[in-house]
Amino acid sequence: MEKLSKDWLTQGLIDFEYKKYVLLAYLQTVKKSFGKVELYPFLADLVFHYRNLVAVKENKTLIRESFPKELSLEEIRKLELSYRELVEDDRIMNELESIIDFAIPHVKNSLEEGTVIYEYVESNLEISPVGVTPLYANEGYLFVTQPPEKETNVYRYQVSIFEDSKEQLRSLNTQFVESVDKSMLNTYERIKLDLIKKYKDLPNPAAFLMLSKLKVPFTETLMPVAKRLFVKHISQTA
């Protein structure tokens, strides 16, 4: 099994043994992925499912804020309707509560396992400016590399700021530019100068190096962790 359906609780047969089988098969896939230090997409999935399980248990409804952004409003409404119908059926709701009580600790354990890996990877990531950083650092270049540090992936980044009712939030958009060979002569500063010459629309860009001390799967682990850490770094220095 790959990902767990967003509506797995209400999808198909609502039976404790069946749902237990579905969940455990999914968590076994997650465990194999974590065993290879591949965090995504499963870590984000676990956060989503755990929040929803707790929300349904405590409120008998879903919390909209816990839905991933890719869900449309129509999909959210369908899920909310499904849960509302279940709540009104005592027999099904009793079965659903048994499923939820079983699922919450199992999903939580997997989520904690993934979080430990995430924090370990993050603690082995170093951020440093490349050259002089301009006052405006919400747009520029991000260099991401890991041992043996021979190749660097270069991304163009842009930080967007928006506000909700409580705080100022930041989102990060990255666009892959190129992979560059790093050497004694082709330093990170040299790479930055070459980018300035090549892309004239950023004459004085900020540039940051994200250097991992660990060699981990790049797409599934390093890049997602690096992006989240970079947003935190920009938030603290802005």
Q: Tens digit of pLDDT for each residue in 37-61? A: 999 999 999 998 998 888 888 776 5
Work out the end-to-end distance of the chain between its first and last CA atoms, rounded to an integer number of angstroms.
Answer: 43
List Cα–Cα distances, 145 to 4, 109, 137, 230, in angstroms.
32, 31, 20, 14
Q: What pLDDT was estimated at residue 112?
A: 97
Geometric angle at alpha carbon 42, from 157 and 96, rounded to 5°: 135
| Rg (alpha carbons) of the chain, rounded to whole number | 22
Determine the angle formed by the axes of helices 73-87 and 90-123, rounding to 10 degrees: 130
Q: What pLDDT was estimated at residue 78?
A: 67
pLDDT tens-digit readout, 89-145? 567 778 888 999 999 999 999 999 999 999 999 999 999 999 998 888 889 999 999
